[in-house]
Amino acid sequence: MEKSDKVAEIATKKQKRIIEAVSQVDNENDPSITFSHSTMCQTSLPFKNMGDERKWVSKNGLSVIMLEAGSVLDPERDDFIQLGLPYGTKPRLILLYLNRQAILTGSPEIEVENSLSAFIKRIGIESAPNGRVYRQVKDQLARLVASKIYIGNRNEDGGTHTQKRDIVSDINIFLNHEKGKKTIWPKTIRLSDEYFEALSSHAVPLDERALYLLKDSALELDLYSMLSERLHRIKDDGKGQFIPWKDLYQQYGGGYTKINKFRQNFLMHLKNVYAVYPSAKIEHEKTDKGMPKGLRLLHSPPPIQKKNIVSITNASNNNN
């Protein structure tokens, strides 16, 4: 018989800080909601700078996901500029910001310049819209909106099926010259019709305050988004959904050469996510000999209740 332990112990200083911060907010009456796209909840962007690499491949269950770096026309000359792959926490947070703007305005057209600085302050990336960090945000935004996503699956007849997903269909690019450096700056973008329609119909609500507390870890942001999208959809029959460690390693283990080291760090980050999503039910399964086997995800309530989603969208509609 398999052994199962609840992943719920809170030990590190970061976890204690998160618990203290969460306990001081009113989750029922003061929701700070942002949104993720259901597909992106299952897709992992690179965790670190990939340098000159133009492609990033990860595996999620039976799907193989590839992120491809894009290009934009240089505003100063008739040539295309190759942008790098987005990486780290910033493009993840930026995408959530774009999703929120699209949902609240009801439009795929987003004027980035007029609203991004407020988001940067609110989420705690930087206290003022200037300096090195702000230039990094601009760079990651450009990389993100120019990239393409491919999702491949194997068919039962032996063939494969590939879907190409564009997050953004149109980008209005300018160059900023700051301290002798050129920075590509998308002032306005338009989400692709497919992405916007799916986002409007199947947006996954997330607590922006949780993002603030997890903003220093790309893995924690990925796990929070994934669990928020998946747990409440799992059948409430006590069986849950089992994910072996080899699958978690394939999806989130980029940069780790040994699965044991990955597992140790993964569980530490998972505890941080559990601190902001305490109603998440996750069990750590072991073999009869006590060896790690995988995680079992059980049906759990979503971090944001439906009434709060209706409240924030109604408030936005009244202001427009």
Rounded to whole angstroms, the Cα distance separating 67 from 306 reads: 32
What distance lies between CA 316 and its chain's CA centroid?
A: 23
Residue among 234, 217, 204 at smallest CA distance from 275: 217
- pLDDT of res. 39: 79
Residue among 212, 221, 230 at smallest CA distance from 280: 230
* Torsion 254-270-89-97 (CA) sign: positive
Tokens 């992405």, located at residue = 195
Identify residue 132 by its one-letter amino acid code: R
* Torsion 241-62-248-42 (CA) sign: negative
Give the contacts of 189 (CB within 8 A, at least 6 positions apart): 98, 109, 110, 112, 145, 168, 170, 171, 172
Residue among 256, 282, 298 at smallest CA distance from 58: 256
Beta bridge partners of 6: 283
- pLDDT of res. 60: 81
Digit-by-digit pLDDT tens for the chain (320 residues) are 355 555 544 445 665 665 555 554 444 444 578 889 887 887 778 999 999 999 999 888 778 889 999 999 988 888 999 999 999 999 999 999 899 889 988 999 998 876 777 777 776 676 455 567 778 888 899 999 999 999 898 888 889 999 888 899 999 988 776 666 677 888 899 999 999 998 988 889 998 888 888 989 999 999 999 999 999 999 999 999 999 999 999 889 877 889 999 999 999 999 999 988 999 999 999 988 889 999 999 999 998 875 544 444 454 455 55
DSSP assigned state of 88: S
Residue among 253, 177, 171 at smallest CA distance from 218: 253
The tokens describing 171, both together, are 């980008």
- Between the two ends of the chain, the Cα-to-Cα distance in Å is 58
Identify residue 231 by its one-letter amino acid code: L
- Looking from the CA of 30 toward its CB, the CA atoms found within 13 Å total 6
Task: Report whether 151 contacts 163 (CB < 8 A).
Answer: yes
Residue among 212, 142, 139, 147 at smallest CA distance from 172: 142
Rounded to whole angstroms, the Cα distance separating 200 from 275 reads: 29
Task: Report whether 110 contacts 191 (CB < 8 A).
Answer: yes
Beta bridge partners of 176: 183
Rounded to whole angstroms, the Cα distance separating 162 from 150 reads: 7
Residue among 266, 237, 269 at smallest CA distance from 254: 266
